[in-house]
A and B are shown apart, each in its own frame.
Chain A
């Protein structure tokens, strides 16, 4: 009795996740979310509204970065799961979105530190180079910038598939740097880092174990997309 129901529900989710419009909506909504407490006149938020926006954008960038990195291990671990395949259609979209949020986060930081005074930009960047917390964030952002710029099809052709792939493995450097940056943004360990990056770590460990188990009966190769 319940079988057809379950199947129809799963395929509905899969269908939903295949839709680019749906995924774009999921990505854009967190960007609009800060407007809500601002409109509600929450005094904690209004005490320093730009700081609230700054933290929210950085948080969203971390979440998207962690989420996009789960796509590949999900596909390796569950090669027949439609949802995993659907998600892998949007790797570029979600990856570039993580960069866009990181860029907005950095822009907000510059506005926050300079108060809009462009002549203070040099001082802010100089200060960043002397503080590991800020420098690590900046390095993670630079990696995402390079990956976003080379995410276009022309860059794949120009670099060649293998070199492109090696370059884009830098994302595995960017993610722990972003996690470090997020952890050191607070005076105490922020618990949310566990649930943002924890699942990714578990999936990556499972994927490595799976791949070390050697060749398995050939699964249907996933259709390469983007």
Chain B
């Protein structure tokens, strides 16, 4: 018999009703996805279903839906910061609708022994399928959600690339497509969006590449088909629609840091004690909680202190925000 000592982020059975509803919904969605996926493979062009449709996703028991109360699917997929597809949170859902994310190629490059290009579906197969993890998501704008992601640990991808000893950082890039993506025709940000992680951050157990939400392929507005998820960092670190991961010796600049270095740093670790210059980070609004749903205290590293605090030992977090 396997005896598992509960980890600290595994809360008590606090949201039983939510969990039952969630599981029912999830199983139905799963069957639907599987059915559509199998039928779709034979009948329909894959692009209509989204990349990674048809891959079953198993809940990772270390990050169960029962520990947190997942935000409703409608809110997760209608409240998006994705400036390539509009600067209002309602816009990406509409404007990204026709964006083609299948087929999609991911390139692994830079200081690695195994540089390669993968079709996203081949990649998922190669990495052994998908798992589901329910993570907190904290935006730098002081709001938060709980998202049931499907995907795979970033560490698996790093292992596949086999970094050389001099590789210390990962630089993630998204697409640059002024023909199809209206937002990129204007210099709102320094396109294409880029993000970076230290190699030891990328191989931390929490770092995740999402391909789905609630057991369905991730919608375009949430970053289809491949999106970085680092739940102990502010949401803007979670680069969407990744096309390339380059391993580098020097720290890459990230887009928001280039845009406003005094407001957005490289680390972007969730920290209630270090305010944004324009607003407090001590607490956060809960998405979907309604008019007076109020706020909750923001947790150090967004509640993932045990998993990631060691990465930043000796680092001045007020300076390295």
A residues whose Cβ falls under 8 Å from a Cβ of B: 42-51, 111-113, 115-117, 127, 130-134, 184, 186-188, 190
Q: Which A residue sits closest to B89, measured CB to CB?
A: A44
Tell me which of B104-112, B157-165, B284-292 binds A.
Answer: B284-292
Most buried by B among A44, A132, A188, A190: A44
Is residue B74 contacting chain A, with contact meaning CB distance below 8 A?
Answer: yes
Q: Could you list some 7 contacts between A and B, CB below 8 A?
A: A46-B290, A48-B143, A49-B291, A50-B291, A115-B294, A116-B294, A131-B279
Given contacts A44-B78, A48-B79, contact A127 B280 (CB under 8 A): yes
Instruction: Write the chain A residue with the least CB distance to B91.
Output: A44
Q: Which residues of chain B are near A187, meaning CB under 8 Å?
A: 141, 256, 260
| Complex Cα–Cα for A127 and B282 (A) | 11
Q: Which residues of B contact A51 (CB under 8 A)?
A: 143, 285
Given contacts A51-B143, A127-B275, 18 further A-B contacts (CB under 8 A): A43-B72, A43-B74, A44-B78, A44-B93, A46-B290, A47-B287, A48-B79, A50-B285, A115-B294, A116-B292, A117-B294, A131-B279, A133-B279, A187-B256, A188-B87, A188-B189, A188-B259, A190-B87
User: Counting CB contacts under 8 A, is B313 at the interface?
Assistant: no
Given contacts A49-B291, A188-B189, A44 and B278 within 8 Å (CB-CB)? no
**Closest Cβ–Cβ distance, residue B108 to chain A (whole Å):** 31
Given contacts A43-B79, A127-B280, contact A115 B287 (CB under 8 A): no
For window 287-310 of chain B, which residues contact chain A by CB distance below 8 Å?
287-288, 290-295
The residue in chain A whose Cβ has the minimal distance to the Cβ of B289 is A48
Q: Counting CB contacts under 8 A, is B90 at the interface? A: yes
CB pair A188 B83 closer than 8 Å: yes
Report the bound CA distance from A116 to B79 in whole Å.
24
Which B residues are in CB contact (< 8 Å) with A186? 87
Which chain B residues lie closer than 8 Å to A49 at the CB level? 290-291
Report the interface size class on chain B. Answer: 20 to 34
* Minimum CB–CB distance for A123 against chain B, Å: 9
CB distance from B48 to the nearest CB of A (A): 23
Bound-complex Cα distance A130 to B189 (A): 28
Cβ-closest chain B residue relative to A116: B292
Q: Is the CB of A115 within 8 A of B279?
A: no
For B296, the closest partner residue in chain A by CB is: A115
A47 B295 Cβ-Cβ under 8 A: no
Query: Within the complex, what minimum Cβ distance (angstroms) separates B101 from chain A?
Result: 21
> With the chains together, A42 CA to B74 CA distance in Å?
10
Indicate if the CB atoms of A43 and B285 lie closer than 8 Å: no
- Across the two chains, which residue of chain A brings its CB closest to B236? A187
- Taking the closest CB of chain B, its distance from the CB of A133, in whole angstroms, is 4
Contact of B278 with A43 in the complex, beta carbons under 8 Å: no
Nearest Cβ distance between residue A209 and chain B, in whole angstroms?
A: 33
Is A43 in contact with B291, judged by CB distance below 8 angstroms? no
A44 near B285 with CB under 8 A, answer no
> What separation, in Å, do the CA atoms of A184 and B262 have in the docked complex?
14
Residue B277 interfacial (CB < 8 Å): yes
* Contact of B188 with A by CB under 8 A: yes
Q: Which residue of B lies closest to A41 (CB)?
A: B74
Nearest B residue to A184, CB-CB: B278
Task: Say whether B75 faces chain A, with CB atoms less than 8 Å apart.
Answer: yes
Q: Which residue of A lies closest to B292 (CB)?
A: A116
Please determine whether B75 and A43 come into contact, CB atoms closer than 8 angstroms. yes
Min CB gap A157→B, angstroms: 42
Report the minimum CB–CB distance from A151 to chain B (whole Å): 31
The 4 closest A-B pairs by CB, nearest first: A115-B294, A43-B78, A44-B90, A133-B278
Give Cα A130–Cα B87 distance, bound, in whole angstroms: 27
Q: Is A115 in contact with B79, judged by CB distance below 8 angstroms?
A: no
Which residues of chain B are near A112, meaning CB under 8 Å? 285
Q: Name B256's closest neighbour in chain A (CB-CB).
A: A187
Asked if residues B287 and A48 are in contact (CB atoms below 8 Å), the reply is: yes
Q: Which residues of A contact B188 (CB under 8 A)?
A: 188
On chain B, the residues within 8 Å of A184 by CB distance are: 278
Closest Cβ of chain A to B109, distance in Å, is 30
CA of A112 to CA of B83, assembled, Å: 25
**Contacts A42-B90, A188-B188 given; does A47 touch B78 at CB 8 Å:** yes
Query: CB-CB < 8 A to A130: which residues of B?
Result: 275
Q: In whole angstroms, how far apart are the Cα atoms of A47 and B259 in the complex?
A: 27
Check B278 against A47 for contact (C-beta < 8 Å). no
Q: Which of B52-110 contact A (CB under 8 A)?
A: 72, 74-75, 77-79, 83, 87, 89-90, 93
Rounded to whole angstroms, the CA-CA distance of A46 and B286 in the bound complex is 11
Taking CB as reference atom, which chain A residue is nearest B280? Answer: A127
Q: Are A131 and B295 in contact (CB under 8 A)?
A: no
